[in-house]
Amino acid sequence: MASSIRSTTAAVRRMAATTSNTVGRSRNLSSTPRRLGGDAHAHGDHYDPPSGWLFGVAPGKYQQEGWEKIWIWGFLGSLGLAGLAYCYKPDTSIQTWALEEARRRLEAEGILEDKN
């Protein structure tokens, strides 16, 4: 039993010795070199000095881009069509249905006279 404990501890010591040597020499899975933080990722200066113009657009008369007029007409046209459809949509509320049903039943019983 003592010999098995000695062989086990010897094996553990050998594994610890080999892993401690390989920890310092770890290999990357990537073939590209490892870069550490800082400015290693920057490719030049990204600072734009203040010019006094908002978003870099020169002051003066605004010139529209080609898509803007089409977008405005399409947006306003769709709003107009949606408003028109909303005005002429059928009334499907429960109150309207209940009123018509009550009127129909009262006319069937003869309590309310027929409009026609």
64-104 pLDDT tens trace: 899 999 999 999 999 999 999 999 999 999 999 999 999 99
pLDDT at 108 over 70: yes
Prediction pTM value: 0.41
**Does residue 30 carry a pLDDT above 80?**
no
**Opening angle at CA 79, ends 83 and 95, nearest 5:** 30
Pairwise CA distance, residues 41 & 35, whole Å: 9
> Are the C-beta atoms of 106 and 112 separated by less than 8 Å?
yes
CA angle 108, 109, 111 (to 5 degrees): 110
pLDDT classification of 62: cutoffs 50, 70, 90: confident
- Average pLDDT (107-112) is 89
Q: How far apart are CA 87 and CA 71, in angstroms?
A: 24
Cα separation, 99 vs 92, in Å, equals: 12
Q: Between 25 and 74, where is the model more confident?
A: 74
Q: Give the model's pLDDT for residue 81.
A: 98
Residues 84 and 75 sit within 8 Å (Cβ to Cβ)? no
Amino acid making up residue 17: A
